[in-house]
Amino acid sequence: MRPRVLCFGSVNIDDIYALPGIVQSGQTIASTGFKVLAGGKGANQSVALAKAGGVDVVHGGKVGPDGTWVLDLMRQHGVDTSLVVVDAGQATGRAIIQVSSSTHDNAIVLHAGANHQIHTRDVDSALAQFGVCDLVLLQNEINTDATVHLMQQCSAKGMLVCLNPAPCPSNLAQQLPLPLVDILILNASECASLSQQLHIETPRSQPADSPDYEALCSSIMSVLPRLCILVVTLGQDGVVAATRHTAEGTEGCHTVRLPVQRAVAVQDTTGAGDTFVGFFCSTLAERVHSAMAGSGANSLNHAASLDGPGDSDAARLAAMRRLIRPDLVAEALAVGMLAAGLCCEADGAMPAIPSRSQVEQARSH
CA distances from 158 to 7, 54, 109, 124, 315 (A): 16, 21, 35, 15, 9
pLDDT one-digit tens code per residue, 124-181: 999 999 999 999 999 999 999 999 999 999 999 999 999 999 989 999 999 999 999 9
Kind of pairing between the strands at 80-86 and 93-100: unpaired
51-68 as b/e: b if 16+ CB within 10 A = bbbbbbbbbbbbbbeebe
pLDDT one-digit tens code per residue, 15-28: 999 999 999 999 99
Our CA angle for 13, 15, 19, nearest 5°, is 155
pTM for the complete prediction?
0.91
pLDDT of residue 204: 60
Mean confidence (pLDDT) of the chain: 91
| Radius of gyration, alpha carbons of the chain | 20
pLDDT one-digit tens code per residue, 300-356: 444 444 444 346 778 878 888 888 999 999 999 999 999 999 999 998 789 999 999
In whole angstroms, give the CA distance from residue 5 to residue 130. 9
